[in-house]
Amino acid sequence: MEIRQTALDGVMILEARSFPDLRGWFRMTYGREALAAAGIDFPVVQDNLSLSRRRFTIRGLHFQRPPMAQPKIVHVLAGAVLDIALDIRPGSASFGRHVAVRLDAEAGRQLLIPAGFAHGFCTLEDNTLVQYRCAAPYAPEHEGGILWHDPDLGIAWPVGPDAAVVSDRDRNLPRLCDVDLSDW
């Protein structure tokens, strides 16, 4: 597994090697030892799946507050997404900045998102299946979110608010400037 740092400290792209043959291919998608060799401690405590039936479905931008902040590895099993990691760590040199990475089932690229980041994605194909491996359990009393199309964030989404498929919850999230992050 090749591990590459993105422009934001701690957000990493994980590239799994594929072993093709006449049947298709084989790929190791998670290796605790491989991550540990790169200095990453990532014990998987919860594994989640989301299926988005329609292209241009938005999920996010979500996060969990301390002490239940939830690092995750995001992996697309079918379809493709534009995946976003947004730094929400007060005092961070990259606070309010994001990285956008295309993840798709064929390439097998994954994104490691550490605690202190909000996460979201836009599906680029119908019937997109996304896996989230989490290093902390879901804790609804600690969840939070930021409006996905907050103009202050400068995220170049592939769809506008009028054409996006968005849940009522995500449609009504606050802008980053209105989120209390004092518990970080």
Where in the sequence numbering do the catalytic residues fall?
62, 132
Compute the distance between CA of residue 125 and CA of residue 67 in angstroms, rounded to an integer. 35
- The string over 49-58, giving b where at least 16 C-beta atoms fall within 10 Å of a residue's C-beta and e elsewhere, is eeebeebbbb
DSSP 147-175: -TT-GGG----SS-TTT-B--HHHHTPPP
Spatial CA neighbour of 121 closest among 100, 147, 146: 100
Residue type, 17: R
Residue 169's CB is within 10 A of a number of other CB atoms, namely 9
Compute the distance between CA of residue 116 and CA of residue 184 in angstroms, rounded to an integer. 8
Expressed in angstroms, the distance from the first to the final Cα of the chain is: 31
- Which residues are 73's β-sheet partners? 112, 133
Compute the distance between CA of residue 13 and CA of residue 112 in angstroms, rounded to an integer. 6
